[in-house]
Amino acid sequence: MARLADSGAPLLAVAGLVKRHGTTAAVAGVDLMVAPGEIVGLLGANGAGKTSLIECIAGLATPDAGTIRIAGVDAGADPRGARRLCGVALQSTGLPPRLTVAETVALFAVLHGGADTDGLIDRFGLAGKAGARCETLSGGQRQRLALALALIGDPPLLILDEPGAGLDPAIRDDFHGLIETLRSSGRGLLIATHDLAEAARLCDRVVVMAAGRVVAAGSPGALIEDAGGLVRLRVRTRPAVPDTVAAEIAGDARLAQDGELMVFSGGDLRAVLARLGAALATADIAIVDIATETASLEALIVAMVRRADG
Ligand SMILES: Nc1ncnc2c1ncn2[C@@H]1O[C@H](COP(=O)(O)OP(=O)(O)OP(=O)(O)O)[C@@H](O)[C@H]1O
């Protein structure tokens, strides 16, 4: 694992992937990479093709075209070899209800290659539940067990489906901490999520899918920046800036002025900031407060998905 992580080669390289269900192209030509020590978020509306893509990568479905390489192993040529390098925690992977946590971990260890099963149970805070049947676990305990099972065989690539779904905020926070530890160990993680706060917190990059294609990719911050970054600029001065000067500062941006408060929106707000600095440098007017608002990742993705669907 460490050697693979150190090599810098992608842990996942998907190229030109197509997956059809009948006449529907659920995945219509997708390229995707995950590097060692990177968490990539897979976002998109219901039906965008995320599950179909993940099922192909996890070896649960056969693509109609394209290639998948996991830590350098071509999944088309060596599906079993590729599958061993990829740990998967899907929502649809049910836990065996009547088996205990320890029995489940032992069973997966037999199926996927030996592991320090007691160590894994401890590490995921499940030692107190080792003898409990899976059907009695809470949502958070189930998620932790699913992640522990995905790690059996020490795969360098992990695929997680909605990892924080249904968890209360404190437990979700702990769980996110666990995921970050896995990233620091050099693993690559691909996370499908509808939770944009989760994506913004965890992901180094996000890939947005719509209608089977990738419509945007980049770091959460870069996507917001590309989409215009600043959406509103609120400036309070003392005394108020005269109307005519305020209009010059606004340029092509909208301006709402109420005494000492000016709110600029809708134009090139970086240019507004520059003109504001220049205009006030020579006037006897002080800036009392300045606040910026940026687009949320959520608003941005809703807009992108609408654009791609329309
Ligand atoms: N087994 C199937 N048979 C027919 N069509 C399918 C099948 N599985 C998925 N599809 C279709 O493929 C498209 C992509 O579905 P997919 O489940 O991959 O999307 P998704 O992004 O995972 O959605 P969600 O967020 O709702 O889970 C949808 O139009 C869906 O109806």
Residues 276 and 137 in one domain: no
User: 177 and 123: one domain?
Assistant: yes
With a 6 Å cutoff on the Cβ, whether 143 touches ligand 1 is no
Same domain, 254 and 182: no
Check whether residue 143 and residue 284 sit in a common domain: no
- 194 with 234, same domain: the answer is no
Same domain as 140, residue 80: yes
For ligand 1, mutation pick of 27, 50, 53, 56 (most atoms within 8 Å of CB): 50
Distance 161 CA to ligand 1 centre (A): 14
Q: Measuring from atom 16 of ligand 1, which residue has the nearest CA? A: 49
81 touches ligand 1 (CB under 6 Å): no
- Does 28 share its domain with 104? yes
Q: Ligand 1 pocket, 193 CB below 6 A?
A: no
**Per-residue pLDDT, 293:** 77
Separation of CA 71 and ligand 1 centre (Å): 27
**Domain identity same for 221 and 244:** no
Ligand 1 center to residue 115 CA distance, Å? 34
Q: What pLDDT sits at residue 173?
A: 84
Single out the residue in 185, 200, 225 at which a domain terminates.
225
Does some domain include residue 273? yes
Residues 15, 160, single domain; the answer is yes
Cα 211 to ligand 1 centre (Å): 10
Q: Which of 208, 225, 242 is the last residue of a domain?
A: 225
Distance 50 CA to ligand 1 centre (A): 8
Domain end residue (candidates: 180, 195, 225): 225
What domain range includes position 280?
Answer: 230-294
Residue 309 lies in a domain: no
Is the residue at 177 inside a domain? Answer: yes
The answer to whether the CB of 141 is under 6 A from ligand 1 is: no
210 lines ligand 1 (CB under 6 A): no
Quote the pLDDT of residue 282. 79
- Let me know if residue 152 belongs to a domain: yes
User: 306 in a domain, yes or no?
Assistant: no
Number of domains the chain contains: 2
Which residue's C-alpha comes closest to atom 22 of ligand 1? 51
What pLDDT score does 94 carry? 76
The alpha carbon of 174 and the centre of ligand 1 are apart by a number of angstroms equal to 31
Distance 49 CA to ligand 1 centre (A): 6
pLDDT score of 16: 97
If asked whether residues 235 and 155 sit together in one domain, one would say: no
For residue 65, the domain's CATH number is: 3.40.50.300
Query: Can you give the CATH number for the domain in which 261 is found?
Result: 3.30.70
**Is 56 a domain residue?**
yes
Reduce the secondary structure of the chain to three states and give it as a string. CHHHHHHCCCCEEEEEEEEEECCEEEEEEEEEEECCCCEEEEEECCCCCHHHHHHHHCCCCCCCEEEEEECCEECCCCHHHHHHCEEEECCCCCCCCCCEHHHHHHHHHHHHCCCCHHHHHHHCCCHHHCCCEHHHCCHHHHHHHHHHHHCCCCCCEEEEECCCCCCCHHHHHHHHHHHHHHHHCCCEEEEECCCHHHHHHHCCEEEEEECCEEEEEECHHHHHHHCCCEEEEEEEEECCCCHHHHHHHHCCCEEEEECCEEEEECCCHHHHHHHHHHHHHCCCCEEEEEEEEECCHHHHHHHHHHHHHC
Check whether residue 197 and residue 53 sit in a common domain.
yes
Q: Is 117 in the pocket of ligand 1 (CB under 6 A)?
A: no
Atom of ligand 1 nearest to the CA of 209: 21
Residue 123 lies in a domain: yes
Does any ligand 1 atom lie closer than 6 A to the CB of residue 50? yes
Return per-residue pLDDT of the chain as tens, 310 residues.
Answer: 544 444 568 999 999 999 999 999 999 999 999 999 999 999 888 888 999 999 999 998 999 999 999 999 999 999 999 999 999 988 756 788 899 999 999 988 888 776 678 888 888 889 999 999 999 998 888 888 988 899 888 899 999 988 877 777 877 888 888 899 999 999 999 999 887 778 888 899 999 888 899 988 888 777 766 665 667 889 999 999 999 999 999 999 999 999 999 999 877 888 898 899 888 887 888 888 988 777 666 676 776 666 666 5
Per the domain annotation, does 68 fall within a domain? yes
121 and 194 co-located in one domain: yes
